[in-house]
Structure 1
């Protein structure tokens, strides 16, 4: 029996937080022992991630796992949330030669004229849409929708959260990247439900029986011609009050945009949110401890 099942919830939660902190520190050190991977491409396709100083290590794991298993040198574009230090940038550039890093101040200046005719979209991005400190802080995720597309030199982008890992060749994404015709959008669903013991111990996964309508924005293949700012302006205006209460506001905005495009489809179940089965191709880890627990599966491959 796992002794943690016998502990009071507050004690078990505190131990879980300590374990997460130690895991992050260990794997942040481990990633710098892996080999650099080229992160410059031909401009036809770009990988975009938003990150801060806390997420440099996770970002390198995410991007390197993609580049390794794809076997390609795609252009990687990293968006600073405003906290990246000079040391962070040097680390990213050393491990991802050819990477393009967009500093927050430069992005703010470049994006402002793009949103001049869309006041609600602009307010969401600059944080003034929210009425609470939490709502204003959460506006940083608007960069995933707006900056990824408006500051991209490519037509096709992969929006990749820093808590995503790849475990094998992502054939569906590679095929989408390399098509010449308009290929719509692809995204992952939440097909599996994690099962817990004593509310905090992961015991396994259960396939959801409900219809597959659990859109997740951690991994999206998007044709930026689908960015309809007029549509987004109306949606944000209608849902402005939710920015202070809905953690998934950005995800819902993405969902609305993508489902209004002519062509879109979910990725296979092997890309499901939080799923760690042996057959998974890539996983967006909402549960951060799972992210670190699964790094041994790819560590050896990235070291060589």
Structure 2
């Protein structure tokens, strides 16, 4: 009887926690401050200050980038980004660095995360005159149409509370064709032949290789849901998918089951993409040239084609990485002189 009463009380507490959004409250009042303290302890206050001012310097540098002149608007290759107030300048540097290492015309297609103010939109268009920006009202309209709340409650909740999910939902829902979605915190230093070849003739999903397997969920659960072997070390900094191949009902079920059995996780988007690609032949970016979390030495003297600046490589991104892209451009040199 005692255990029965305990279970009833627990059920009521879980119900009220969900009803009152206590998880969100706990995050704001406890986990976020705790995370900040842990991050400060790990990096040190002085390093955090240096990184902050380095990121501000990078953002200001965007305003000095020379506009990209499209070579051929009829044969442009589309690259997709989700961005907003915190990342727009990183998006610009990523797309700019890629454009600087190809004679092909790239068209950035930018999806607003809800915080892309007009002044940032204007600067993006100034740098990339052929860019297409899709704003929040338009996105919300087709999300409501193609992923209605009553039918996709878990995907909608995740999309609202976990912005990374929008790289799947907002860019692919109700759409058709292959799309290459790039994370903003990446830079190109050489011609990305692998990616350009994929963009010209995509035939299979595309991804890059992580430093370790980071999905946040057990391989057993993921494999049982996908009914296929899950690839190790899949990283979605580079993510090529065919929109109409995504089974949204299945994705909703996977999302629901992962959460109910093992909770929410920061890497859930990566886990879901790994499940979508499970059992399928994929185009995998060579990890020696498309590096996730490059070392300080590699960032200071890049040898690879691309860097994806995650985790401990973030400081090197803000202190050194972007300056390789900017140093000659500020002198007014054209692409042909690079």
Q: TM-score range by the shorter chain?
A: 0.7 to 0.9
User: Equivalent of 1:31, from 49, 62, 65?
Assistant: 62
User: Equivalent of 1:19, from 47, 50, 72?
Assistant: 50
Deviations 1:135-189 (A, max 9, x none): x531x2221012222365x62221111101111100011111112xx51012111
User: Equivalent of 1:268, from 282, 286, 295?
Assistant: 286
Contact persistence 1:44–1:156 (CA under 8 A): no
Change (3 A) 1:295 1:69: same
Change (3 A) 1:123 1:43: farther
Q: Give 1:256's aligned residue.
A: 275
Count matched residues: 266
Change (3 A) 1:301 1:220: farther
Contact persistence 1:77–1:101 (CA under 8 A): yes
Deviations 1:5-58 (A, max 9, x none): xxxx74952112111110011111112211111478547742111111121211
Find the structure with the greater CA-based Rg.
Answer: 2
Deviations 1:112-149 (A, max 9, x none): 111249833x5423x3x59xxxxx531x2221012222
Task: Give the alignment of 1:272-291 within 5 angstroms.
Answer: 272-276=291-295, 277=298, 278-287=302-311, 288-291=314-317
Q: Give 1:157's aligned residue.
A: 179
1:142 lines up with 2:165 in the alignment:
yes
Structure 2: how far apart are the matches of 1:99 and 1:124? Answer: 28
Q: 1 or 2, which has the higher strand percentage? A: 1
User: Equivalent of 1:295, from 322, 330, 334?
Assistant: 322
Q: Give 1:87's aligned residue.
A: 119
CA drift of 1:192 comes to 7.7
Say what the alpha-carbon RMSD is for the aligned residues. 2.9
Q: Give 1:168's aligned residue.
A: 190
Contact persistence 1:45–1:155 (CA under 8 A): no
Task: Give the alignment of 1:234-253 within 5 angstroms.
Answer: 234-241=253-260, 245-253=264-272
Contact persistence 1:166–1:281 (CA under 8 A): yes
CA drift of 1:65 comes to 0.8
Change (3 A) 1:228 1:38: farther
Q: TM-score if structure 2 supplies the norm length?
A: 0.70
**3-state DSSP of counterpart to 1:184:** coil
Q: 1 or 2, which has the higher helix percentage? A: 2
Deviations 1:176-228 (A, max 9, x none): 1112xx510121112489xxxxxxxxxxxxxxxxxx82111111122334322
Structure 2: how far apart are the matches of 1:297 and 1:242? Answer: 45
Structure 2: how far apart are the matches of 1:105 and 1:25? Answer: 29
**Relative contact order, CA 8 A, sep 6+: which one is greater?**
1
**3-state DSSP of counterpart to 2:241:** strand
Structure 2: how far apart are the matches of 1:141 and 1:217? Answer: 11
Q: Which runs of 5+ in 1 are unaligned?
A: 1-8, 131-135, 194-211
Q: Give 2:9's aligned residue.
A: none
Deviations 1:90-127 (A, max 9, x none): 1111111111111112201112111249833x5423x3
**3-state DSSP of counterpart to 2:179:** strand
**3-state DSSP of counterpart to 1:221:** strand
CA drift of 1:245 comes to 3.7
CA drift of 1:263 comes to 2.7
Q: TM-score if structure 1 supplies the norm length?
A: 0.78
Contact persistence 1:183–1:263 (CA under 8 A): no
